[in-house]
Amino acid sequence: MKELRADATDIPKALGQARLTQSSPTACDAFLHVYHGKNKGRKGKSRFTEGTKMYQNLAKEQ
């Protein structure tokens, strides 16, 4: 999986057809692609500002 992740780019590459189940009576065939889109900017953001954190800490102390 690490090798596939390292090769992933913003342009999808087809890997081919694969079976997603090993021993299930209902086999699921799929066509696999490798794709890694650009970052959406969600990492590192906090929903709380410094002011609300201060009030939260004060509420915990009481």
The answer to the question of residue 23 being in a domain is: yes
Q: What is the distance in angstroms between the CA of the first residue and the CA of the last residue of the chain?
A: 49
Q: What is the pLDDT of residue 48?
A: 66
More reliable by pLDDT, 56 or 6: 6
pLDDT tens profile 23-42: 878 888 899 999 998 888 87
The answer to the question of residue 53 being in a domain is: no
Total domain count, the chain: 1
Q: Which residues contact 37 (CB under 8 A, 6 or more apart)?
A: 10
The answer to the question of residue 16 being in a domain is: yes
The answer to the question of residue 48 being in a domain is: no
Distance, CA of 9 to CA of 5 (rounded, Å): 9
Place of tokens 């490798």: 34
The answer to the question of residue 29 being in a domain is: yes
The answer to the question of residue 58 being in a domain is: no
pTM recorded for the entire structure? 0.50
The answer to the question of residue 47 being in a domain is: no
The answer to the question of residue 57 being in a domain is: no
Q: Which residues contact 7 (CB under 8 A, 6 or more apart)?
A: 13, 34
More reliable by pLDDT, 61 or 18: 18
62 has pLDDT over 70: no
**Which domain, by its residues, includes 10?**
1-38
